[in-house]
Amino acid sequence: VGLLDSLDPAAVESVTVYDPAPLPWRGRPYGPDLESVRVNVPPEIMSIRAGDPEHYGKWLGGTDEHDDPWLGRPVPPRAVYGRYLEDTAAEALARFARADVVRAAVTGLRLGAPGDRVTVETAGGSRTADAAVLCVGGGTPPDLYGLAGAPGFVLDPYPLERTLDGIPRDRDVAVIGSGLTAVDVVVSLAARAHTGRISLVSRSGTLPHVWQRPVRTDVRYLTPDGLRALGGPVTLARLEALVRREL
């Protein structure tokens, strides 16, 4: 989507997108799912438009519909971000003289001599293009521990609405890992009033960093004047002392 949005229609005559997914543009994480599955980073980081960090925020409309009460910032469900991707893709394609979305997987590429067009092959035939760009996303997570097919094991939890429907509320659940996907699982189980024990099995034992409401502070000690007042070399130990005093 970001590539399509960045292309100049004056320089690109036509665009063909190949995607066999039932919901193109959204990728694996941003399809319809539970309200508890959230976009857990600031909107500025999620903008699809290069050089315009406010693009996503503007699409949200400046409302407080999805604002988190502790952050005061929008934390919308991922399905909402999926709609943003769909809308941005539709607007981008509408700018070109010819645009086509082929609902088929690419099975091969054939390159000719330098300067020749690229042949893109699918099960239904082939087309040629001046350039081909591979934009396949993250794909299905790898089965690192060889557990696929084991009773009760789910390799890909998304959509969580489907996955959690098969888990009785009183069952104990083990989540391998403690990253953002693990947080999605735990929060979604809690939202469904799960009563069984939930365990995160992680080598690091650490959770993702906490996104906090920005708090303005006035720097009093770790300043140019504070460094000059040291009256000598700024060693790491002296710098550490200033940082500790500041905190």
182: containing domain: 141-216
Residue 5 pLDDT greater than 90, yes or no? yes
Q: What pLDDT, on a 0 to 100 scale, did the predictor assign at position 137?
A: 81
Mean pLDDT of 131-140: 87
Co-location of 161 and 181 in the same domain: yes
Co-location of 171 and 63 in the same domain: no
Q: Report if residue 227 sits inside a domain.
A: yes
Co-location of 33 and 107 in the same domain: yes
pLDDT-based confidence at 141, cuts 50/70/90? confident
Mean pLDDT of 93-117: 92
What are the tens digits of pLDDT across the range 52-75? Answer: 999 999 999 877 788 888 888 889
Co-location of 74 and 103 in the same domain: yes
Q: What does pLDDT average to over the chain?
A: 92
Q: Report if residue 170 sits inside a domain.
A: yes
Co-location of 221 and 179 in the same domain: no
Co-location of 31 and 120 in the same domain: yes
Q: Report if residue 134 sits inside a domain.
A: no
Mean pLDDT of 101-106: 95
Co-location of 19 and 61 in the same domain: yes
Residue 212 pLDDT greater than 80, yes or no? no
Residue 214 pLDDT greater than 80, yes or no? no
Domains held by the chain: number: 3
Co-location of 222 and 199 in the same domain: no
Strands 118-122 vs 106-110: parallel, antiparallel or unpaired:
antiparallel
Q: What pLDDT, on a 0 to 100 scale, did the predictor assign at position 7?
A: 95
Question: Comparing 1-5, 61-65, 132-136, 198-202, which segment has the lowest mean pLDDT?
Answer: 61-65
Co-location of 184 and 92 in the same domain: no
Q: What pLDDT, on a 0 to 100 scale, did the predictor assign at position 136?
A: 86
Q: Report if residue 70 sits inside a domain.
A: yes
What are the tens digits of pLDDT across the range 223-234? Answer: 999 999 988 899
Q: What pLDDT, on a 0 to 100 scale, did the predictor assign at position 177?
A: 94
Co-location of 113 and 30 in the same domain: yes
Q: Which residues contact 149 (CB under 8 A, 6 or more apart)?
A: none
pLDDT-based confidence at 119, cuts 50/70/90? very high
Co-location of 20 and 112 in the same domain: yes
> What is the reported pTM?
0.80
Distance (Å, rounded) from C-alpha 211 to C-alpha 183? 13
Q: Report if residue 102 sits inside a domain.
A: yes
Q: What pLDDT, on a 0 to 100 scale, did the predictor assign at position 15?
A: 96
